[in-house]
Amino acid sequence: MTLQEEIRRRRTFAIISHPDAGKTTLTEKLLLFGGAIHVAGAVKSNKIKKGATSDFMEIERQRGISVATSVMGFEYEGVKINILDTPGHEDFAEDTYRTLTAVDSVIIVIDGAKGVESQTRKLMNVCRMRKTPVMVFINKLDRPCKDPFDLLDEVEKELQIRVRPLSFPISCGPTFKGVYNIYEQNLSLFLTNEKQTADAETVDVTLDDPALDGYIKPFTRHLKDDIDLVEGVYEPFDREAYLRGELAPVFFGSAINNFGVRELLECFIRIAPSPRSATTETRTIAPEEPKMTGFVFKIHANMDPNHRDRIAFLKICSGIFERNRNYLHVRSGKQMKFSSPNAFMAEKKSIVDFAYPGDIVGLHDTGTFKIGDTFTEGEKLKFTGIPSFAPELFRYIENADPLKFKQLAKGIDQLMDEGVAQLFTSQMNGRKIVGTVGALQFEVIQYRLEHEYGAMCRYEPIQIYKACWIESDNAEQLADFKKRKFANMATDKHGHDVFLADTSYALQLAIEKFPDIRFRFTSEV
C-alpha cells in the first residue's frame, strides 16, 4: 500500500466525557465490534469478572474510573482505528487536553438522564478552539432519560454547535427497544440478550417493512412520527460542515447493552477524517510528506509493573516511522533509533516495524524524553498547541519509610515525568513539594508509589497560591529578587527557578516591584 492509501484508511480519535457517562464502556464495545476483544469487560460490576480493557491500572479497576489515557488500535473493514480512551474526572483533565492534540476527531459521550455536564462543556471548548470534528453519543437509553428532542436542543445550546441526529431511539428506560439508523435507513434489533460478546443474533428491518410492527409494537407509529419530525426540522447531514467542526452528528444508544454501538462505528469509519495537517512553530506539516515527523504527547511509567518500563507515546504526523532507523531528537540534537517500538492494546504491546501518520507508537524511555519532544529525519521542528498547566494544589511530600528512600526518589522522578503533577525543591530547606491540578492526583501518586515502587509517602500541608516560573534579561534584578524572596524560591525538576507565591497579593506586589522579570504560570513543554 502507498503512503497515501495508508493515511486514507486511518482514523485516530479520542473518546471524552464527564465522569460516569459511559465512555470506557463505549470503548469496550467498539473494541468488541471491531473484533479486537471477544468478551467486553465492565468498569463497575459485581457479576462481570473481567475489567475494562482500557482501565488497566489497578487503581482504575478499584475506583471504577479512568485516571490515565489508554491507547488501543484495531482493524475494522479495512480501516485502521486508533482509539484514545481519556479520563473523565476533572482532576485528570490535563492528560485529556494533551491527548486532544494527538487526535483527528472526537466522540463525546453524554448521559441521557443527566444531559450535558460541566466537564463536557470544558472539553468541547478545547475541541472548538482546535476546530476538531466531534460526534456525540447519547448513552444509557436503557434507563429513564430526557426526551430525545430535548437532549438534541440541550447539546446544541450547551455545546454551541449545530446537531444532526443520525440515529434515533425507540422509547427509553424499561421499554427501550433499540435505535433506528437514520444514516443507513434501517433498524438493527437484537433477538438475544447477549451483551458481553458480539455474537448476539440481530435482524435488520426498514421503516416500511410490514414485519416492523411485530418487533417494536406499540412504538411503530411513534417512531415514524419522530423520524418525520427529524427530517423536517434538521437539514440533511453535511459532512463538510462536520469536518470543519461546525456540525455534530448525534447517535443514541446503550453501550452496556450493545444498542447503537455498531451504528456509531460503521458511520464513523465512513465520515470521520483521516489524519490531518499538524502545526509547528515554523510551518504546517502535511501527513503526505515523505519524511517522518512526530511528537511525544504522553509519558507513562510502569505500563508493565514486572519490567518497570517507561513508555513515551509518539504521534506520527507525516511520513513512515521505521523500526531501527535513525531519527533526530530535536531538543537534544542527538540521533536515536528504536529497536522495539510498540503498538498498543491498552497495556498489551506488540512490536511494530512500520507506523504511518495517525498511528501512536510507544517508545521505551530511560528518562530522556519530555512531553512535547519532536522527532524528525533531520529538520528542526517544534510542534505547537501541546498544553501545560500551572499546578493549583500543593503539598510537601515526605518519606514514610526510611529504608525505601531510593525507591521513593525513583518513583517520584518517574511519575512526575508523566506530566500530570510537578515536583519542586524548596531552596530554603530542600524539602520536596508536589503540585497538581486536582486533589485526586495526590491519592493516585501515593497509591502508585506504594504499589508500583514499594515506597510509602505522606503529605504535609503548605500554603502556596501559585507557582510562577521566572526569567529575566536583567541579571542584577533577578539576583535581587531571588535574594529577597529566598524563603519562597524553589527549583523544578529541570533546575528552572520557580517563585512559590503564598498569596495573590504577594504575587501582584512582586510583579509590580520587579518589572524586568517575566512571570510565567506554565513551564514550557
- Averaged pLDDT for residues 356-369: 90
Averaged over 476-485, what is the pLDDT? 95
Confidence (pLDDT) at 92: 55
Average pLDDT over residues 37-64: 48
pLDDT at 346: 47
Q: Is the pLDDT of residue 236 over 90?
A: yes
Residue 390 has pLDDT above 80, yes or no: no
For residue 520, the cross-strand partners are 469
Report the percent of the chain where pLDDT is more than 70: 86
Pairing assessment for the beta strands 278-279 and 284-285 based on DSSP bridges: antiparallel
How would residue 304 be classed by pLDDT, with cut points 50, 70 and 90?
low
Going from the N-terminus, what domains does the chain have, and what CATH number goes with each?
15-68+89-97+104-271 (3.40.50.300), 278-376 (3.40.50.300), 393-520 (3.30.70.3280)
- What does the pLDDT look like over 243-300, one tens digit per residue? 999 999 999 999 998 889 989 999 999 999 999 999 999 999 999 999 999 999 888 8
Cα–Cα distance, 365 to 368 (Å, whole number): 6
How confident is the model over 343-352, as pLDDT tens digits?
A: 876 456 789 9
Short-list 15, 121, 125, 147, CA closest to 69: 15
Q: Which H or E run includes 497?
A: strand 497-501
d(CA 67, CA 417): 16
What is the distance between the alpha carbons of residues 198 and 97, in angstroms, rounded to a whole number?
A: 32
Q: Are 314 and 374 in contact (CB under 8 A)?
A: no
pLDDT at 367: 79
Backbone angles phi, psi at 442, to 5 degrees: -60, -40
Beta bridge partners of 108: 16, 136
The secondary structure of residue 369, as a DSSP letter, is: -
Cα separation, 422 vs 396, whole angstroms: 12
Written as nine digits, the cell of 237 is 447531514
Cell of 385: 498547541
Cα dihedral 379/384/387/388 (nearest 10): 50
The confidence band for 222, taking pLDDT boundaries of 50, 70 and 90, is very high
CA distance 25 to 37: 13
Residue 197: pLDDT over 90:
no
Strands 327-329 and 321-322 turn out to be unpaired
User: Helices marked H in 162-260 — which ranges?
Assistant: 212-216, 220-233, 239-243
Mean of pLDDT values over 61-86: 74
User: CA–CA separation, 405 vs 382, rounded Å?
Assistant: 37
